[in-house]
């Protein structure tokens, strides 16, 4: 294995990780921003007010984007397994 192949595998792994984590992180960011604006407007500083909506948003995104995320992981794993003979030899 050459350093270029290792760098390429690492880049692909980071790309897949970013693709999978982005929907949940963006949804949590959007909900957190809305809750922060609400808390700033109403002066309510309750910790569960920020945690529970983010948790619900992540669960909803996971239910909606879960099959796509699983398919991305399966495709990446299959391509990685198929490339094993060329990586070894």
Token pair in block for residue 87: 């990586």
Residue 86: its pLDDT value, please? Answer: 86
Reported as a single tens digit per residue, the pLDDT across 28-52 is 999 999 999 998 899 888 877 889 9
Helix-, strand-, coil-residue percentages of the chain, each rounded to 5: 90, 0, 10
Task: Supply the pLDDT for residue 66.
Answer: 95
Residue 3: pLDDT band (50, 70, 90) is confident
| pLDDT of 62 higher than 80 | yes
More confident residue, 20 or 86: 20
Q: Which of helix, strand or coil describes residue 89?
A: coil
> pLDDT over 70 for what percent of the chain?
100
């Amino acid at each position: 294995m050459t350093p270029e192949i290792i760098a390429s595998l690492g880049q692909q792994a980071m790309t897949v990780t970013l693709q999978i984590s982005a929907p949940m992180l963006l949804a949590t960011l959007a909900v957190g921003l809305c809750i922060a604006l609400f808390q700033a407007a109403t002066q309510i500083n309750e910790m569960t007010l920020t945690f529970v909506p983010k948790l619900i948003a992540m669960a909803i995104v996971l239910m909606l984007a879960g099959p796509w995320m699983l398919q991305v992981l399966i495709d990446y794993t299959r391509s990685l397994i198929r490339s094993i003979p060329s990586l070894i030899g």
